[in-house]
Structure formats: structure tokens, C-alpha cells
Amino acid sequence: MKFLLFTLLLCFVFLSARAQIIEDSTCFAYFKITDRLRRGDTLDKATWHNFVQNKAIQVYMNDQGANDNYYEYYRRLMQIVYMPQKDSILQRQLKDSINYWFTYLIYQYKVNEEGMKAYLHRINANPGAYFDSCYKYCYTGLAVKDRKKAPDEIFSFIPLHSDAHAENKWVIYSLLCAYFNDKNKLGILGGHELHHVLRPQKDIDSVADKDRGVLTLMLRTVNEGSADLVDKKYMTYQATALLDFQRGTYEDFYSLGQKQLPRIDSLLQLSATRDSSYTLYQLLKGADNSSGHVPGTYMAYTIEQAGLKQQLLAHLDDPFYFFSLYDEASRKKDSKAYRFSFTTVNYLKQLQQQYRDKWK
């Protein structure tokens, strides 16, 4: 009996040690800064510099392309948004949120601060329930064999910007993004980011320069398109829990992808017939970014709408299969999806054959 109790205790200790970690200390450090700003104090450069040296902030902001000028610009906007004596400037900038986008974002942190504090306290009070919800959504985009855990992944909340990023056993949320997405569906953002962690992935060795653009396009498209199956269907114009700029993400990505595919198809035809090569940015010209959300969302949901989702989930590590399955979906009877030209389809088959032995 004593041995059994000792064994159970060891299991408990082991499982506790492997529990998912939530790191949100920068958020509460941020709230201390905003308290001082609300009292009319300035935010000096040294204090701000020390704050943004936090590793999670650096990893996330490096992915966003931030530099010293960006941080300085953000510091000045913090003073405009929070200091009472600068309210007239704030009100003027809020009337033109397109040109003062970061003023608008920081203002959302300001007006939602109490709700954000309560949100973080709720998650910290029961992290197990939070992560259960994250995994529940994540698993909707994975085959059964891939529905594992990622106990070594650290989840960090940072109080800057509005996005999320997964890198090197680290999931980093901007607090604004997590707060409103979780108001909409608790755990949905974590589900998307965990999908990037758990999705089986391969890479290609020794890519020829002329093929690099199209292969990068394919890898990014399946990476974000498959993850977008987890969450984008909930980010519609009817999702009133989201901020205005977050609503309609699904419809916008889908519409942009529908417009983007003919351009991609045209360039791939030129690659096939003229031996031309194009960079990722040329292939995705007209998309909001080069991450793969556009056209990935459009292609992934076309596959799902055609009843082929389970086939996709069984081959998430293969971008060639993703494009081939999309082609099959687009050619189904009554499908209104854009169809790749036969020239492009054959070109992708040739690339698949060329890199078959280099796919690891």
C-alpha cells in the first residue's frame, strides 16, 4: 500500500512538473507603467528600454520586424494615450485610426485594462481548463494520430501589438489579440498556435534557386491554411465579441484568396512554359502579407466544403498533396472554386517528382 501511494505521488509530481506554463509577468509590469502614466508621469526611455528587453517581447517583435525607431515611436504613443494632459492629441488621433493605427491599438489596451486583468486572473486560477479548451480546438485540425500534447511549450502574454506567434517551444500572444479572441471562443487562439506546433512537418533539402519561391509559397500556404481551419470560421462579421478590425477575418481572407489564386496560377504557368522564376512576394502580390493565410484560408475551406477534410488531415506534412487535394475539390460538380490550369497542375506534379527524394 505504501509503495502504491509512493508511486502515485511520483506520478503526480512528474505530471505537475510537465504542466503547461503560462507567463504573463510583462502584462502586470505594463499595468504598473500605465498606472504612472494615468497619474500624469512621463515614460522615460530607460524604463521603456528595460521593459521591452523581455525575451518574449523581443522574440515576438523581431518576428514583426520591429527596430529601435519602432520602440521609440510606441513609447511616445503610450504617453499620448495614457497621460491626461495629452488627451486632446489622443482624441484627434482616434478620429483617424487608419493613419494612427497604433494609437488605436494602445487605446484598446487602455479601455479594456480591467477586463484584461480579470481575464488573466481567470486563466491563472484554472490553467488546466484553459489548455483543455486550446487542445480541443487544435485537435479539430489534426488527424487522430497527431493529437498529442506539447507540455514543453511556454505560453507568454505580452501587452504590445495585436497578433500571435509560435517559435522554438514558445507560443507568444499579444494580450489584445488573446483577450478578444478568447472572449469570442475561449482557447481558440491557443488552438491555432498549437496547431503550428503539433502539425507534422517536413522540409526540403537543397532547393534550386528558381524553385525557392513556389516551394516557399506551398509550405506557407499549407502551414497557415490548415491552421486557419481551426479558428477562422469563428472570426466572421457576426462575431460581435471581437473588435471591429478582427471581425470578418474569415470572409476577408477567403475573398482575397479567391482573387489571389488566378494571379498565382498565371505566374506558375509562366514558370512552367518559360522557365521563369518568381519570389514569394511576387507570387503573393496583392495579399495582406506573405504568411500564407491568403490564399491558404480559401484553399483549406474549399477542401473542407468539398468533404475532403479528413484526407487533408492525413497528409498535413505534404504541401504538394494540399495543392493536389484543392485541385480535386475545385473540380467537383457544382464547385464554384477557382480551378488551376492544367499547365500549373502538371508543373506542380513535376516539382513533386523532382523533390520526392529530398523531402524529409
Average pLDDT over all residues of the chain: 92
Q: Averaged over 239-265, what is the pLDDT?
A: 95
- Cα 304 to chain centroid distance, Å, stands at 20
User: Is the pLDDT reported for residue 2 higher than 70?
Assistant: no
CB 158 within 8 A of CB 215: no
33, 39, 44, 50: CA torsion to nearest 10: -10
Band of residue 9 on the pLDDT scale cut at 50, 70, 90: very low
- The reported pLDDT for the residue numbered 204 is 75
Tens of pLDDT, residue by residue over 99-147, are: 999 999 999 999 999 999 999 999 999 999 999 999 999 999 999 999 9
Sign of CA dihedral 30, 31, 36, 41: positive
Task: Dig out the grid coordinates for 327 from the structure.
Answer: 485541385
Q: What is the pLDDT of residue 275?
A: 78
pLDDT (0 to 100) of residue 147: 98
- Rounded to an integer, the average pLDDT of 38-57 is 97
Q: Give the pLDDT score at 287.
A: 64
Q: Are strands 164-166 and 154-158 parallel, antiparallel or unpaired?
A: unpaired
The x, y and z cell numbers of residue 285, run together, are 502580390
Mean pLDDT of 168-181: 95
**pTM, 2 dp:** 0.90
Structural domain boundaries in the chain:
20-198, 209-358
Asked if residue 28 has pLDDT above 70, the reply is: yes
Distance CA 166, CA 185 (A): 20
pLDDT at 333: 87
- Tell me the average pLDDT across 197-209: 87
From 139-148, 177-186, 351-360, the region with the lowest mean pLDDT: 351-360
